[in-house]
Structure 1
Amino acid sequence: MQAIVMTATGGPEVLVLEEIPAPRAAAGDVVIRAEAIPVLFPETKLRAGEFPLGVEPPLVFGFQAAGVVTEVGTDVDPALIGRRVTVATMRFGSYAEFVSAPADSVTLIPDGLSSVDAAAVLMSGSVALPLLETAALTGAETVLIEAAATGIGSYLTQLAKEYGAARVIATAGGPEKAEHARKLGADEVIDHNDPEWTTRLRETLSGTTLDVIFDSIGGTTALDLLDTMTPLRGRMLSYGWLSGAPAQLTATDLITRGLTLTGCAGPDWLTRVANARTATLQRAATGTLTPLIEAVLPLDQAAHAHQLIEARSPLGKFILRP
C-alpha cells in the first residue's frame, strides 16, 4: 500500500510517499480502508520536533482517519466489517491507504455524513464540546474565544450561544479570518496579530468584563487578560498554547483576583474528548455543527498540506484522500 512515511524530524519535506506492506489487525484492533485523513495542527509540531515523538522515525505519520472496516482482530465484533467509522491510532500510522487502530477508538459514522466531513470535524469538535460543558455558561455571560476562525476555536464559536453565551468576543489573525469568525457567530472580533490586541479588547469591553476565556494562545498573554475578567466568577479554560508556551500564570495571580483556571489536558481530559466523538459526528450529521474543510488533497500532498498549515492560511481542515 501507499503511505506517507516521516523519515526524520524536520520540515514538511521529511514526509515522503512510500510503498509499504499493509497492516494486519492484531488482537483488539481493526483495519480500515482509509477514505479521508485529517491533517491536524499538532501533527505539524510533532513533525518539526517541537514536541517529543516518543518513537524514532522512520514511521508512518498521522493519528486519525475515516473509512471502511476491512478486518478485525480477535476479541473484536466482526459485525464492524463493512461499517464506515473513524479511528484514532495508538501512536501513528493514519497517513496511509490502510490504517490499523484500537477497536475502542472506533466511532461509527452516521448515515448521511460523508467520510470527509467526519474526518474534518472529529478532533476539533470533540474538544469543543467538553470545553463548553466545562465552562457551564449561564445564558447571561460574555466569553472570549481565542483563535476563533479555525480549528477548535471555530467550533466553539459555532456553539457558544447554544451553550449559554450572551456575548461572544473572538480573536482571529487578519481580516479574512476575522470575517470568518463573524460568520461563525462572533459578535465582535479582534485581530490578535496586533501587538496591542489586549488593549483593543479592553476598548471593546468598554467597562464590562469577561466571564469565560477559552485560552488557546497561552504564554504571557494569559496574564495580560486577567484584569479583563469578572472578579469571583471569571474562569479561564486553558487548552492550547499557540504562542509556544502554556499560560504563564501563578496561583497568586488567580487568587488575588478571585479567578479560576482549568487545565484542559491529561488522561482524564482525553477520555472526555474521546467520549464526545459520537455526539460530535451526530451533530455534524444533523446540521447542528458544520464541518469546516479547506481542501481535499491526494495522499501524496501531505507535505504541501503541512506547509499551508504552518503558514496559518487555512480556514478549515486539509483532508488527505488515498
Structure 2
Amino acid sequence: MPTAIIISQPGGPEVLHATEIEIKDPSPDEVQIRHEVIGVNFVDIYYRSGLYPLPSSPAIPGFEGSGIVTAAGHNVRGFAPGDRVAYTGSPMGAYAEIRNIPASRLVRIPQNIDIRTAGSAMLRGLTAHMLLHKVRDVKEGDWILVHSAAGGLGQIVTRWATMKGARVIGTTGSADKVKIAQAAGAKEVLLHTDTAWADKVREISDGRGVHLAIDGIGGSTLSTTLSVVRPFGTAASLGQPAGPIPPVRVEELGFARSIALMRPSSMAYADDAELYAQGARDLISALQNGLINPVGAQYPLTHAAEAHADLEAGRTTGSVILTV
C-alpha cells in the first residue's frame, strides 16, 4: 500500500505522521498519478499549525507536485498512463506516493523541462505570476521590493521580474543569504534586520519608493513595508511567518500616500480555472525560456516533519521538496 503523510490535529511538525493508505480507482474525471516530487510550502505549515482550518481530519497536506500518470477516468481526455504531469491548487492531498486528482488540475510537462523543476515550481511560480501580472502588471524599469529574496518564492519572483526588465531590491534575514538573492538578480540586497532598511529602499528607488512591495514576512514588518511604496504603488501581503499582522487603518493608505494594499491568495488564483490556465502556460513558457527555480532542500516523503521544521525556522533557501 502507498505511504502518505497525515495530520490528525493541528500542532507543530511532530503532528505529521507517515501511514499506509488505500487508493481507489480514479473517478470518471480524475487522474491517478505516482508522485516523484512534492512541493513543501508555507501554506502547508498554516494548515498544519491550525492557522487555516483543515478540510477534514485526518487530512493529507500539500497542494503541489509532479509525477507520472498511472490511470485515468473514462471521461478524461488528453492524459494517459505514462504522461509526465505537474499541478498545484485544491484539493489538498499532495503528501502521498500516489493520489487521485481532478484532470483539470494537471499540466503536461514538456520534454525540455525536468520533472523535478516542474514539481517544485508550480505553486511559487503561479504566485509569482499573480504578483507580477495580476497584482501589478510589472513593466520594464519598475522598482520592486522583495522580502525574503533568498527564499523559494523570493528567488523566482526576483528572477521573473528581472526577465521583465524590472529592478529588484531584495531583503534577507541574514548576511549569508545576500549572495543568493544577488545571484537571483536583485540589484541591491539589504538585511531586513537593519533598522534603516526602509530609508535605504527609498533612497535606492530614486527617492520615491517602489512600485510594488512584496511582503511575505508579516508581523510588524508590513507597517514599515507600506512606508516604502511610492504614490499609486501597491503593497502585497502574502504571509505571516513572523506572526499576526497588526490592523492597518485605511487612512494609513491615503490621502498623502495614495497606495494600495492587497492580500492576494495564491490558492484562490490557482483555483480560478481561467487564471490557472493562463498562469500555468506563462510559467511553463518562462521555464522554457530560462527562468530558473533552484531547489534549496529536499527530503524523503517520510521526513516531511523535518522539512516543515527547517522551512519554518528559515534554515532553507530556494524551493523545498519531498521526494518519493
Q: Structure 1-normalised TM-score?
A: 0.89
Matches of 2:31 and 2:98, distance apart in 1:
10
How far is the alpha carbon of 1:89 from its aligned partner? Answer: 6.3
How far is the alpha carbon of 1:228 from its aligned partner? Answer: 3.0
What are the Cα deviations for residues 170-189 of structure 1, in whole angstroms up to 9, with x where unaligned? Answer: 11110122221111111111
Q: Is the 8 A contact 2:143 2:205 kept in 1?
A: no
| Counterpart in the other structure of 1:182 | 182
How far is the alpha carbon of 1:5 from its aligned partner? Answer: 2.1
| Counterpart in the other structure of 1:300 | 302
How far is the alpha carbon of 1:17 from its aligned partner? Answer: 1.8
What are the Cα deviations for residues 92-119 of structure 1, in whole angstroms up to 9, with x where unaligned? Answer: 3221111111111011011022211111
Structure 1 residues 56 and 203: CA distance shift in structure 2, 3 A: same
Structure 1 residues 60 and 259: CA distance shift in structure 2, 3 A: closer
Aligned positions of 1:86-105 closer than 5 A:
86-88=86-88, 90-105=90-105
Q: Is the 8 A contact 1:147 1:170 kept in 2?
A: yes
Matched, 1:34 2:35: yes
Structure 1 residues 259 and 237: CA distance shift in structure 2, 3 A: same
Matches of 2:315 and 2:289, distance apart in 1:
26
Q: Is the 8 A contact 1:89 1:101 kept in 2?
A: no
Q: Given residue 319 of structure 1, which amino acid in structure 2 is its aligned partner? A: I
Structure 1 residues 152 and 89: CA distance shift in structure 2, 3 A: closer
How far is the alpha carbon of 1:261 from its aligned partner? Answer: 2.5
Matched, 1:276 2:275: no
Matched, 1:109 2:124: no
Matches of 2:176 and 2:51, distance apart in 1:
28
Q: Is the 8 A contact 1:214 1:239 kept in 2?
A: yes
Q: Is the 8 A contact 1:142 1:210 kept in 2?
A: yes
Q: Structure 2-normalised TM-score?
A: 0.88
User: How many residues were matched structurally?
Assistant: 318
Matched, 1:5 2:6: yes
Unaligned runs of 5+ in 2: none
What are the Cα deviations for residues 68-126 of structure 1, in whole angstroms up to 9, with x where unaligned? Answer: 11111232126432211013464332211111111110110110222111111111011
Structure 2 SS opposite 1:234 = strand
Runs of 4+ in 1 over 6 A off after TM superposition: none
Q: Is the 8 A contact 2:211 2:233 kept in 1?
A: yes
What are the Cα deviations for residues 175-211 of structure 1, in whole angstroms up to 9, with x where unaligned? Answer: 1222211111111111113455434545655834222
Matched, 1:192 2:186: no
What are the Cα deviations for residues 198-255 of structure 1, in whole angstroms up to 9, with x where unaligned? Answer: 3454565583422221232344433333443323x32223333333335743322222
Unaligned runs of 5+ in 1: none
Aligned positions of 1:244-263 closer than 5 A:
244-246=243-245, 248-256=247-255, 257-263=257-263
Structure 1 residues 55 and 122: CA distance shift in structure 2, 3 A: same
| Counterpart in the other structure of 2:234 | 235
Structure 1 SS opposite 2:32 = strand
Q: Is the 8 A contact 2:297 2:317 kept in 1?
A: no
Structure 1 SS opposite 2:144 = strand
